Structure 1
Amino acid sequence: MNRPALRRTLAPAALVLGLAATSLGVAGPASAAPAAGFETLRPVCSAQLPIAHPGCAAGTSYRGAPLPDGTANQVVQLSGVDRFATAAAIAEHGFPEADVAVLVSGEDRHLVDALSAAPLARSLAAPVLLGTRDAVPTATAAYLQQHRVRAVLLVGGADALGGATAERLRALGVTSVARVAGADRYETSRDLVALMPPAAHGWVASGEDDHLVDALAASGPAARLAEPLLLVADGDPLPAAAALTARGVTSTTVTGGPEGVAPEALAPLPAPQRAAGEDRYGTAAELAVESVDRGLDAEDLLFAPGVTGHLVDALAAGPLGRATLLVGDVESSFDVVEAWFDTFGSGRVTAVGAVEIDG
Structure 2
Amino acid sequence: MIRSTLRRAALAPLAAATLAAATVGLAGTASAAPAAGFETLTPVCSAQLPITHPGCVAGTSYRGAPLPDGTPNQIVQLSGDDRFATAAAIAEHGFPEADVAVLVSGEDRHLVDALSAAPLARSLAAPVLLGTRDSVPAATASYLQKHQVKAVLLVGGADALGEATTGRLQALGVTSVARVAGVDRYATSRALVALMPKSTHGWAASGEDAHLVDALAASGPAARLAEPLLLVADADPLPAAASLTALGVTSTTVAGGPEGVAPEALAPLPAPQRAAGTDRYGTAAGLAAESVDRGVDADDLLFAPGVTGHLVDALAAGPLGRATLLVGDVDSSYDVVEAWFDTYGAGRVTAVGAVEIDG
> Which TM-score applies when normalising by structure 2?
0.95
State the alpha-carbon separation in 2 of the partners of residues 310 and 14 from structure 1.
26
Q: Give the superposition deviation at 1:14.
A: 9.5
Partner of residue 226, structure 1: 226
State the alpha-carbon separation in 2 of the partners of residues 275 and 168 from structure 1.
41
Alpha-carbon contact 1:24-1:88 (below 8 Å) kept: no
Q: Give the superposition deviation at 1:256.
A: 0.2
Distance 1:101 1:42, change over 3 A: same
1:260 partner letter: G
Partner of residue 62, structure 1: 62
Q: Give the superposition deviation at 1:13.
A: 4.1
State the alpha-carbon separation in 1 of the partners of residues 348 and 13 from structure 2.
15
DSSP-derived class of the 2:77 partner: strand
1:259-298 pair list within 5 angstroms = 259-298=259-298
1:181-200 pair list within 5 angstroms = 181-200=181-200
Partner of residue 134, structure 1: 134
Q: Unmatched 5+ residue regions in structure 2?
A: 1-6, 15-19
1:330 partner letter: V
Partner of residue 300, structure 1: 300
Q: Give the superposition deviation at 1:342.
A: 0.7
1:26-37 pair list within 5 angstroms = 27-37=27-37
Partner of residue 117, structure 2: 117
Partner of residue 326, structure 1: 326
Q: Give the superposition deviation at 1:12.
A: 3.0
State the alpha-carbon separation in 1 of the partners of residues 55 and 228 from structure 2.
21
2:182 matched to 1:174?
A: no
Partner of residue 3, structure 2: none
State the alpha-carbon separation in 1 of the partners of residues 182 and 12 from structure 2.
43
State the alpha-carbon separation in 1 of the partners of residues 57 and 294 from structure 2.
31
Alpha-carbon contact 1:204-1:252 (below 8 Å) kept: yes
Q: Give the superposition deviation at 1:11.
A: 2.2
Q: Give the superposition deviation at 1:26.
A: 5.0
Alpha-carbon contact 1:26-1:146 (below 8 Å) kept: no
Alpha-carbon contact 2:72-2:346 (below 8 Å) kept: yes
1:200-219 pair list within 5 angstroms = 200-219=200-219
RMSD: 1.6
Residues 10-37 of structure 1 show CA distances to partners (whole Å, capped at 9, x for unaligned) of 323499xxxxx98963521110000000
DSSP-derived class of the 1:231 partner: strand
Residues 45-73 of structure 1 show CA distances to partners (whole Å, capped at 9, x for unaligned) of 00000000000000000000000011111
DSSP-derived class of the 1:356 partner: coil
State the alpha-carbon separation in 2 of the partners of residues 26 and 12 from structure 1.
29
Size of the alignment, in residue pairs?
A: 347
DSSP-derived class of the 2:10 partner: coil
Partner of residue 315, structure 1: 315
State the alpha-carbon separation in 2 of the partners of residues 208 and 310 from structure 1.
17
Distance 1:274 1:38, change over 3 A: same
2:153 matched to 1:159?
A: no
State the alpha-carbon separation in 2 of the partners of residues 342 and 208 from structure 1.
33
Alpha-carbon contact 1:156-1:179 (below 8 Å) kept: yes
2:9 partner letter: L
DSSP-derived class of the 1:134 partner: coil
Sequence identity percentage: 87
Alpha-carbon contact 2:157-2:181 (below 8 Å) kept: yes
1:340-359 pair list within 5 angstroms = 340-359=340-359
Alpha-carbon contact 1:72-1:346 (below 8 Å) kept: yes
DSSP-derived class of the 1:11 partner: helix
State the alpha-carbon separation in 2 of the partners of residues 194 and 87 from structure 1.
25
Partner of residue 12, structure 1: 11
2:111 partner letter: L
1:76 partner letter: V
Q: Give the superposition deviation at 1:355.
A: 0.3
Residues 242-292 of structure 1 show CA distances to partners (whole Å, capped at 9, x for unaligned) of 000000000000000000000000111000000000000000000000000
Q: Which has the higher contact order (CA 8 A, sep 6+)?
A: 1
Partner of residue 51, structure 2: 51
State the alpha-carbon separation in 1 of the partners of residues 112 and 224 from structure 2.
20
